[in-house]
Amino acid sequence: MGSSGGNLKSLLSALIELTKPRIVMMQVVTLLMGVLVVSRQVTPNWVLMGYLVLGTLCSSAGASVLNHFFERQSDGKMNRTMTRPLPSGQLTPEFVGSMGICLVLAGLWILWVGTRPNVMFLSFLTVFLYNLVYTPLKQWTWLNTYVGTIPGALPPLAGAVAVMGHITPEAWGVFWLIVIWQLPHFFSIDWLLKDDYARAGIKMLSGHDPSGQATWIHMMVCATVFLVVSIWPVVHGSMGWVYGVTAVGCGVWQWVACWRFRTDRSSAVARRIMRVSVLILPLILLGMGLDRIL
């Protein structure tokens, strides 16, 4: 009985790991940012919101599962990922691939039924770009880092389309905010895992930048642009001072964290940049919510 219970727990843990819960939750956070930024024009329908969030959860989870399937060989070469369900042999590729396809199809169907066809298309585009463009590009060029920001930034467009029926200028502002926000995060992970990436044959900036100088320049340019882009909703008039103060504060926090990398290329500084970048997105969402309430 104990062995059976342990096996079930291990299976559930493996299935949850396949869906990459943290990435899925970030997708939902950015989705809600897209909804909030247009909510001054149209009040969102709660039933529609339920379909939107559930469909996005399913399709995002499915995209993550498929990513495990497509990256199973490179995952097996990296210390960080060799214990994942596929490289470790806990699950078979056939099962994981089928699970990913079923989740994606379920998410797309929910979005088709409960929202709008163009929302479903944006969700499909996210899955396609993530797994069939960004993932194979990792074997060819370090510019995959920039390409990979696109699927991660599509959810706010889907959120705006679900509410408004079309992509608004405010939604494009959030799209570019998410694109730029991801880059310091990605570059810090790149620096932390440079040896692992090289072992797996994945092309990253760190492989061409042993000193870290180019990595720092990319981080600082992106952190500076993020500060500018984050105030677009205020300039456009879709958000007020509460959001503005929150966004500028978060942008300065990220900028300072990246600036420290100029003289200190340690793993501790890179991890701090990674943690700050993860924290500022929920804070900006909170700022948007408070701005709407106040």
Q: How far is CA 86 from CA 17, 60, 76, in A?
A: 11, 19, 8
Q: How does pLDDT run along the chain (294 residues), one tens digit per residue?
A: 445 666 888 899 999 999 999 999 999 999 999 998 888 778 788 999 999 999 999 999 999 999 999 999 999 999 999 999 999 999 999 999 999 999 999 999 999 999 999 999 999 999 999 999 999 999 999 999 999 999 999 999 999 999 999 999 989 999 999 999 999 999 999 999 999 999 999 999 999 999 999 999 999 999 999 999 999 889 888 889 999 999 999 999 999 999 999 999 999 999 999 999 999 988 998 999 898 887
* pLDDT at residue number 84: 95
Contacts of 256 (CB under 8 A, 6+ apart): none
**Cα 256 from chain centroid?**
22
Cα within 13 Å of Cα(36), Cβ side: 22
* pLDDT at residue number 206: 94
Tell me how crowded residue 117 is: count the other CB atoms within 10 A of its CB: 10
Taking the whole predicted model, whether its pTM rises above 0.85 is answered as yes
* pLDDT at residue number 217: 97
d(CA 214, CA 37): 34
> In order of start, what are the domains of the chain with their CATH numbers?
20-293 (1.10.600)
Short-list 53, 26, 30, 22, CA closest to 177: 30
* pLDDT at residue number 181: 94
* pLDDT at residue number 7: 81
Which tokens hold the place of 153? 């930034």
Q: For residues 208, 209, 210 and 216, what is the CA-based torsion angle, rounded to 10 degrees?
A: -160
